[in-house]
Amino acid sequence: MSTIEKVDVFVAAPGRNYVTLRITTSDGVTGLGDATLNGRELAVAAYLRDHVAPLLVGRDPARIEDTWQYLYRGAYWRRGPVTMTAIAAVDIALWDIKGKVAGLPVYQLLGGRSRDAVLVYGHASGSDLAELFDDIARFKDAGYQAIRAQTGVPGLAGSYGVRKGLIYEPAATALPEEQPWSTEQYLNFAPRYLREVRERFGFDFHLLHDVHHRLTPIEAARFGKEVEELHLFWMEDPTPAENQESFRLIRQHTTTPIAVGEVLTSIWDVQQLITEQLIDYVRTSVSHSGGITHLRRIFDLAALYQVRSGSHGPTDLSPVSLAAAVHVDTAIPNFGIQEYMAFAPETLEVFRGGASFADGMLHVSEEPGLGVEYDERLAERFPYDPKYLPVARRLDGSVHDW
Ligand code: KDG
Ligand code: MG
């Protein structure tokens, strides 16, 4: 029987910080997992090196479900981003190995194709409306059929979601940058600028917007109602989702579709949102919510309630995550959309292969496994570079959800 022989954890910053897990079997087959948790990278790396790797050596790499249960239940302590990201990395790596051993791409092991390609949305942004309009035009020219629009709120320095340069990177400083926030100013401005986007570019593309956890339920209800006739594909994270029940209030007031889940790590965190149909898209990610095994379980639950997938896919998830997400997207019946951002050139030199982009869609790799290779030697040239996400403060100085 083949066994797990070696478990390596790489922490490197090719373009940005990534934590990468590599499992090697006694037959010399390798599998890759993404263990990146933005701003908390070393916690997951230590969890894997100190507490997971010793448990994996000698195990049967084919027993993916059993390994998931062993790591989840065996830890005794439940859920949480560090644990679930570590389990996810192991799970993704084991699926990669299973695919390579079978000589099949992972989506074939998940039941085969449900679709030819995967619809993605790109991130258009600008510090003001003129810049945002230019960026939307650029995304349309590049073939995107779905575009997320974010711009700075006039008078507030450093709004969420606005790119500086070609690569979006919110974790940009050695200590957390503090950014001002005013709900009043945002609520007065955002519906107006989204209307201008529709007036300028029409309705022949999907328009998305990320509220990024900034509103209370009743504020979110107001926002959703005001943008209803703009037919957003979704409003994302309108309010923090720890209290799943709170989405009922938003639902009572608006038909604007709701997407939630990028900071949530398990099926139990989205159970009420799904089973009570309080959201339309579930955005849990393959690398923060327990890997392919657990993400599939979440999406299968969602399918029963006509909730579709909308996997989180920013650049702070590595190309290994994107590849794994696209294998899942290709296979599941209730796929909605996949988030997609361009990676830095250095990232694509270190992580080679994976899904490819054409005409607003991602195409899954046909290579056995996930189809991604990691260049360990090249990665060594990009040492870890500690960076934090920003923190938001209201104008009175108190901390707000970033
Ligand atoms: O690390 C934080 C980012 O992943 C997050 O801010 C990105 O909200 C995000 C999104 O929708 O991609
Ligand atoms: Mg988001």
Domain boundaries, the chain: 4-104, 109-400
Instruction: Spell out, as residue ranges, where the chain has pLDDT lower than 70.
Output: none
| 232/209 Cα distance (integer angstroms) | 7
Ligand 1 is surrounded, with C-beta below 6 A, by 38, 170, 210, 212, 236, 262, 312, 314, 316, 339, 389
Catalytic residue of the set 18, 47, 160, 340: 160
Tokens of 341: 């951002």
Pocket probe mutation, ligand 1, options 315, 316, 340, max atoms within 8 Å of Cβ: 316
Q: Which residues are CB-contacts of 83 (< 8 A; sequence separation ≥ 6)?
A: 47, 72, 75, 77, 265
CA–centroid distance, 274 to ligand 1, in Å, is 21
Tokens of 238: 């309108």
Catalytic residue of the set 123, 206, 209, 212: 212
Amino acid letter, 195? R
Our measurement of the distance from residue 383's CA atom to the centroid of its chain's CA atoms, rounded to an integer in Å, reads 24
- For residue 6, the model assigns a pLDDT of 98
Ligand nearest to the CA of 17: 1
- For residue 166, the model assigns a pLDDT of 82
- For residue 157, the model assigns a pLDDT of 85
- For residue 149, the model assigns a pLDDT of 98
- For residue 351, the model assigns a pLDDT of 98
CATH class of 109-400: alpha beta
Using CA positions, which residue lies closest to atom 8 of ligand 1? 212
Domains 4-104 and 109-400 share a fold: no
- 160 in catalytic set: yes
Is the CATH number of domain 4-104 3.30.390.10? yes
- 212 in catalytic set: yes
- For residue 164, the model assigns a pLDDT of 85
